[in-house]
Amino acid sequence: MAIINSRLEVPNFLATDNCIAGVIEKVDVGLLKLLREARIKPKPILICSGGTSSRCTAPGHWTLDLRNEYQNIEFDLTSKQVEFEAGITMGKLLEILSKEGRTFPIGLSNLTGLGYILTGGVSPLSRSQGLAIDQIETITGVWGRGEPFEISRPDKFSNSEIKMQWRGLCGAAPFLAIVTSLKVVTSPLEPLLVWQKVLNPDQLSELIQIAENWPNSISLQWAWGDKINAYVVIKNANKEEKKTFKRSIKDLTSYSTNDLLEIPSLHNKPDFIIPLLNKAKMSRYHSEVLSLLGPIWSNQSNDVIKSLNKVMTKRPDTNCYIASQQLGGSTCQISPEKTSFVHRQAIWKPWITAAWPAGDNKKREKSLSWLREVWRTLEPYCPGVHMSQMHPHLSWHEKELNDAFKEWLPGLKSLKSRYDPQGLLPPL
Ligand SMILES: Cc1cc2nc3c(=O)[nH]c(=O)nc-3n(C[C@H](O)[C@H](O)[C@H](O)COP(=O)(O)OP(=O)(O)OC[C@H]3O[C@@H](n4cnc5c(N)ncnc54)[C@H](O)[C@@H]3O)c2cc1C
């Protein structure tokens, strides 16, 4: 059933403020017919699961909003796998799993939806548990050409087409299909420790190098706005892990056990504080985010941080910031040919947020050109892109696609030409 609507209320303000054609809420025979007959106008149709990205709506376009109608979730007591529909947020998923003593590597926000998993899914637990896509067992949905599918993780007996489909869906699904539900493996719930501290640029540079030598059970996240905030998550919060962490930072900054917060699950984690003046709370802000991927920085970390220090002085708005997550360990152990997340050797995932007051086009241009400058600054150290946010409406979409999928891009385009030949889903 289509609802004519000019706005869709979602967590992302830019997406909410777009004046759209309307909303569709069900993947029913009517929608399948529209897809099969390529009668979606204008194309593409946008998809909303969590609604946290700027691209779940677009001016004048239809949005398929899966949040109301796709809320089923079922935990299998025997296999410990969970099957859930596309309207379930990551926070809700963990809330339900924690009742079963299980967990899943969600990201830094409880608000994100299926888009988090389908685009790769980098979690503070990824170093020990892998990416979110690495946990998927079954994917159910509809190809852009209007044909329903259900695909399970391929094995050595699977044919090459199934392997290609799986590879495309794990990391690049938004270009190929509408995913209505996923079945994923879960892991036992273990308490975690979180350490948060304000650092200066020299301390950050040092901590990055220290973190590159941590065991996979510890991960570093940091955010750089008006200040720098470091956020460390420690799994297996036993004495050994605590000692390793404490020893590693003893020359860097003061340490007190009170700085360590014990939490039962990622779902209860304290907010990852982005240290910004709270201007965004006083007025409505829009933003675009670009995520990069790069290998170990080692002692180049000093050069990275020096260069970032320079670009941070040029922020056009105090709500622009840079942040990063740490990968490695389990995320490197999957072959780059298995999924569309090809940057399996990546250790750092910095992301750049360009922000501006809603409706201020001059500020928008300035913030986006600052984002490009930060991207150029980081590119020698982070040549990859994590396609966790797509920007077909911006001039650098082709570059982000190339940097995200590299030599897999022609294969992905070939999949797109077969499964979404009319380009009813976002362009590749
Ligand atoms: C506060 C915050 C914290 C974040 N932290 C992390 C993090 O720790 N790690 C990380 O990896 N990423 C992180 N992200 C990025 C986030 O995972 C991506 O932007 C993701 O695409 C958001 O998915 P969504 O479902 O919430 O958003 P939506 O805006 O609903 O969807 C995002 C995109 O995915 C596509 N999509 C969504 N659902 C489907 C579906 N069912 N089928 C096909 N395509 C679909 C849509 O076309 C859309 O372009 C964060 C984002 C925010 C806002």
Is residue 55 within 6 Å of ligand 1 at its C-beta? yes
Strand partners, 81: 185
Q: What is the CATH number of the domain that holds 312?
A: 3.40.462.20
Same domain, 60 and 124: no
Q: What is the pLDDT of residue 282?
A: 66
Q: What is the pLDDT of residue 260?
A: 86
Pocket residue to mutate for ligand 1, from 47, 63, 178, 182, most atoms within 8 A of Cβ = 47
Same domain, 314 and 377: yes
- Output the CA 54–ligand 1 centroid distance in Å: 9
**The Cα angle at residue 314 between residues 313 and 315, in degrees rounded to 5:** 95
Same domain, 399 and 333: yes
Same domain, 111 and 25: no
Is residue 48 within 6 Å of ligand 1 at its C-beta? yes
Identify whether 421 is part of a domain: no
Longest dimension (CA), the chain: 65
Q: What is the CATH number of the domain that holds 235?
A: 3.30.70
Boundary-marking domain end, from 133, 160, 188: 188
Pocket residue to mutate for ligand 1, from 112, 133, 290, most atoms within 8 A of Cβ = 112
Q: What is the CATH number of the domain that holds 134?
A: 3.30.465.10
Identify whether 316 is part of a domain: yes
Q: Which range among 75-79, 283-287, 322-326, 424-428 shows the weakest confidence by mean pLDDT?
A: 283-287
Boundary-marking domain end, from 65, 90, 118: 65
Is there a contact between 415 and 164 (Cβ–Cβ < 8 Å)? Answer: yes
Boundary-marking domain end, from 65, 100, 120: 65
Mean confidence (pLDDT) of the chain:
95
Q: Which range among 48-62, 220-234, 260-274, 387-401 shows the weakest confidence by mean pLDDT?
A: 260-274
Q: How confident is the model at residue 237 (pLDDT cuts 50, 70, 90)?
A: low
> What does the alpha-carbon distance between residue 261 and residue 151 come to, in Å, rounded to a whole number?
40
Q: What is the pLDDT of residue 278?
A: 63
Same domain, 184 and 204: no
Is residue 308 within 6 Å of ligand 1 at its C-beta? no
Ligand 1 atom at shortest distance from the alpha carbon of 106: 8
Same domain, 37 and 78: no
Residue 281 CB: number of other CB atoms within 10 A?
A: 9
Identify whether 417 is part of a domain: no
> What does the alpha-carbon distance between residue 420 and residue 415 come to, in Å, rounded to a whole number?
8
Is residue 49 within 6 Å of ligand 1 at its C-beta? yes
Q: How many domains does the chain have?
A: 4
Q: What is the pLDDT of residue 2?
A: 65
Is residue 144 within 6 Å of ligand 1 at its C-beta? no
Mean pLDDT of 88-112: 97
Phi and psi at residue 226, to the nearest 5°: -75, -25
Give tens-digit pLDDT for 75-91. Answer: 999 999 999 999 999 99
> Quick one: DSSP state of residue 270?
P
Q: How confident is the model at residue 244 (pLDDT cuts 50, 70, 90)?
A: confident
Is residue 179 within 6 Å of ligand 1 at its C-beta? yes
Same domain, 312 and 350: yes
Task: Tell me which residue range forms the domain holding 261.
Answer: 192-268
**Six-digit token string for 285:** 């802000």
Identify whether 53 is part of a domain: yes
Identify whether 381 is part of a domain: yes
Same domain, 119 and 141: yes
Same domain, 124 and 168: yes
Is there a contact between 42 and 35 (Cβ–Cβ < 8 Å)? Answer: no
Name the helix (H) or strand (E) containing 370.
Answer: helix 361-378
Of 62, 54, 56, 80, which is closest to residue 20 (Cα–Cα)? 62
Is residue 51 within 6 Å of ligand 1 at its C-beta? yes
> What does the alpha-carbon distance between residue 29 and residue 51 come to, in Å, rounded to a whole number?
24
Same domain, 182 and 211: no
Same domain, 297 and 403: yes
Mean pLDDT of 344-349: 98
- Output the CA 298–ligand 1 centroid distance in Å: 30
Q: What is the pLDDT of residue 39?
A: 96
Same domain, 315 and 256: no
- Output the CA 134–ligand 1 centroid distance in Å: 16
Using CA positions, which residue lies closest to atom 5 of ligand 1? Answer: 108
